[in-house]
Amino acid sequence: MLLLKHGDYHILFGGLSRGGEIGAAIGIIVGGLLGLIPWHAKHFFLARIGRHHPNFKWFVEELGDLITRFSGITMTCIATGVIWILQPASLWDVIYKDYLHVSLYVGGLYFALRGNVGYEVSSKRRKV
């Protein structure tokens, strides 16, 4: 397999890391939207399904939380790999010169640890 090189940075690695970051961002958005479903709206298709199945609302909220956490872990891992591949001289070089990947790392870590659990909703969640 022929890898095209641009300096010491492989174009294939760049494309995979960009695609992974975009996929993780879409996963965070989808997971957050699953937590915001208007269950009181009778015309919404998931609310119609949820009326007939008592655990469906709980399942969809947990699935949204799981998607958000997995996407956050993915984003954190990809940002770590990109920072590692760039081989910075010190931690300060990463913090001062590579703000994009540091912010993606911190954002991914936030969503990996927190998920999309709301503070007012967390007491109402069903205990497993």
> What HEC string does 18-82 produce?
HHHHHHHHHHHHHHHHHCCCCCCCCCCHHHHHHHHCCCHHHHHHHHHHHHHHHHHHHHHHHHHHH
Rounded Cα gap, residues 128 and 123, in angstroms: 13
Q: Are strands 9-10 and 5-6 parallel, antiparallel or unpaired?
A: antiparallel
pLDDT by residue (tens digit) across 65-109?
999 999 999 999 999 988 888 888 888 888 888 888 899 999 999
pTM of the model: 0.76
Which residue from 54, 51, 103, 101 is spatially nearest to 78, judged by alpha carbons? 101
Domain ranges of the chain: 9-117
pLDDT by residue (tens digit) across 98-119?
888 899 999 999 999 998 876 5
Q: Is it the case that residue 23 has pLDDT exceeding 70?
A: yes
